[in-house]
Amino acid sequence: MGDIYAQLAANRTGERRFLEMLERFGVETVAEAAKELQDYSERLAREAIRAIPDGLYEAEDFVDDNGFTTEPLKVKVAVAVDGDRLRVDFTGSAHQTKGMVNSPVCSTISSVYGAVALLLRGGAIPVNDGLYRPIEVHVPFGSFLNPDQPLAVRARANACHRVYNAVMLAMSKAAPEQVLTSDHDTTNAIGMGHLGKDGYRVYMEVVGGGWGASAEADGADVVDSYIGNCSQRAGGGSREGLSVHGVEEYALRRGSSGAGTRRGGLGARRVYRILEDDVSFNCYSDRFRIAPWGLFGGRPGEKTRFLVEREGETIALESKANFPLRKGDRLVIEIAGGGGYGEPRKRAREDVERDLREGLITEEEAREVFGLEREALT
């Protein structure tokens, strides 16, 4: 309900501001300015598309599973560049599936738009209908990217990220300087519930990972995914949640980033100590089986993993799961890092030395992966 109230408040604020603008400038002026802004975005988008060589660029990426079987779900894309137009076709993608990883077609198309908006001039084109006019998207009816009957879509971020990834991977063949490598690529949603004497308590958190690298920059560390909008909290959520667990550790996950001329971002490591019996844990995530990919010699990031440490035993959890926790358990959440871009041994020496100094890589990695000379390690 908090989300719904926030949306209502945002819309009411937008309505009020829009009416103020109409009163200040007049209906005709506002309408003409809106038209011109959209036409301006369209002109820039078409110009940027014309700079990409004509051709058909194909790629595929995979969601780990649907939460019930281990079969990966393919996202297959073909991007046709023809003059100043793009056609993005997902024919060949996996059929609609059991579980909650299906994506409504509106979310699928939005993910395409997000990827293309970043590809064209690095996201500098104003985002409005004009930017999207040169883009045609075809999503087969009955695929898990456009289901033909009511199906669960709560974890649609898994599919939406693969849509984004597949478009980026396809366009890396045509516009290598404009793409990003793969990141942790989902909403890493974890939840805990407990029924106690004073009622039922629920805790939910979204834990960030590493972004992919690009030709010009390292990936960002410990952030929500490309198409997400959640912030990272150091305290571990609400006081209600903290009554059944405590946060023992919140840190960068050392070694999670993919090496490259530009390295991927690091994921988070978060450890919870469970303080009560009969705590139910539930989660949906991804990149447990298929690692974030790098490009042009860049190495993949480490995969995500969720673990329960219990009386000397380590229990590996699935990416989409429900699991009962006990008092004294340690719940370990380790999120994937981003893929690297370019050959690691071409990374600037000062960047390798900084990563080593800050503890982001080991001396062995600096020497064996990045080629830092032994005397620089002393």
Radius of gyration of the chain, Cα coordinates, nearest whole angstrom: 23
pLDDT score at 224: 87
Phi first, then psi, for residue 24 (nearest 5°) are -75, -40
Residue range 231-258: mean pLDDT, rounded: 73
Does residue 339 contact residue 300 with C-beta atoms inside 8 Å?
Answer: yes
Does residue 202 contact residue 289 with C-beta atoms inside 8 Å?
Answer: no
CA distances from 342 to 182, 222, 294, 358 (A): 13, 21, 8, 22
The two tokens of residue 131 are: 């930017």
pLDDT score at 245: 75
Domain boundaries, the chain: 53-175, 180-347
Q: How confident is residue 6, by pLDDT bands cut at 50, 70 and 90?
A: very high
Q: How confident is residue 378, by pLDDT bands cut at 50, 70 and 90?
A: low
pLDDT score at 283: 94
pLDDT > 60? residue 377 = no
CA distances from 35 to 14, 48, 195, 327 (A): 19, 20, 55, 60
The two tokens of residue 286 are: 């991804």
CA atoms in the 13 A half-sphere facing the CB of 338: 31
Instruction: Name the more confident of 264 and 231.
Output: 264
Q: How confident is residue 31, by pLDDT bands cut at 50, 70 and 90?
A: very high
Does residue 281 contact residue 331 with C-beta atoms inside 8 Å?
Answer: yes
pLDDT score at 123: 85
Q: Distance between CA atoms of 217 and 160, rounded to whole angstroms?
A: 24
Burial of 171 (0-12, 13-18, 19+ CB in 10 A): buried
Q: How confident is residue 227, by pLDDT bands cut at 50, 70 and 90?
A: confident
Q: Tell me: the pLDDT tens digits for 122-133?
A: 889 999 999 999
Does residue 370 contact residue 345 with C-beta atoms inside 8 Å?
Answer: yes
pLDDT > 70? residue 236 = no
Residue range 36-41: mean pLDDT, rounded: 98
Residue range 83-110: mean pLDDT, rounded: 96
Residue range 47-72: mean pLDDT, rounded: 96
Question: Which residue pairs, CB below 8 angstroms and at least 24 apart, start in 49-55?
Answer: 49/81, 49/83, 49/84, 49/85, 49/86, 49/120, 49/134, 50/83, 50/84, 52/81, 52/171, 52/174, 52/175, 53/81, 53/174, 54/81, 54/82, 54/83, 55/80, 55/81, 55/174
Q: Distance between CA atoms of 191 and 281, rounded to whole angstroms?
A: 6
Where is average pLDDT lowest: 197-201, 290-294, 354-358, 374-378?
374-378
Residue range 89-99: mean pLDDT, rounded: 97
| pTM score | 0.90
Q: Tell me: the pLDDT tens digits for 260-299?
A: 999 999 999 999 999 999 999 999 999 999 999 999 999 9
User: Which residue is listed with tokens 């620089």?
Assistant: 376
Q: How confident is residue 3, by pLDDT bands cut at 50, 70 and 90?
A: confident
CA angle at residue 203 from 243 to 232, to 5 degrees? Answer: 110
pLDDT score at 190: 92
The two tokens of residue 299 are: 């190495």
pLDDT > 80? residue 243 = no
Does residue 292 contact residue 212 with C-beta atoms inside 8 Å?
Answer: yes
pLDDT score at 246: 85
pLDDT score at 177: 94
Q: Distance between CA atoms of 330 and 314, rounded to whole angstroms?
A: 9
Q: Tell me: the pLDDT tens digits for 247-260?
A: 899 999 999 999 99
Query: Residue 337 contacts by C-beta under 8 Å, 6 or more apart in sequence?
Result: 184, 209, 210, 219, 253, 256, 257, 258, 264, 265, 266, 267, 292, 301, 302
Phi first, then psi, for residue 129 (nearest 5°) are -60, -30
Q: Tell me: the pLDDT tens digits for 97-156?
A: 999 999 999 999 999 999 999 999 888 999 999 999 999 999 999 999 999 988 999 889
**Coil, strand or helix: which one is 138?**
strand
pLDDT, the chain, mean: 92
pLDDT > 60? residue 37 = yes
pLDDT > 80? residue 175 = yes
User: Which residue is listed with tokens 């969601």?
Assistant: 63
Dihedral angle sign, alpha carbons of residues 323, 327, 329, 332: positive
Q: Alpha carbon 112 to chain centroid distance?
A: 13
pLDDT score at 232: 61
Q: Tell me: the pLDDT tens digits for 319-368?
A: 999 999 999 999 999 999 999 999 999 999 999 999 999 988 889 989 99
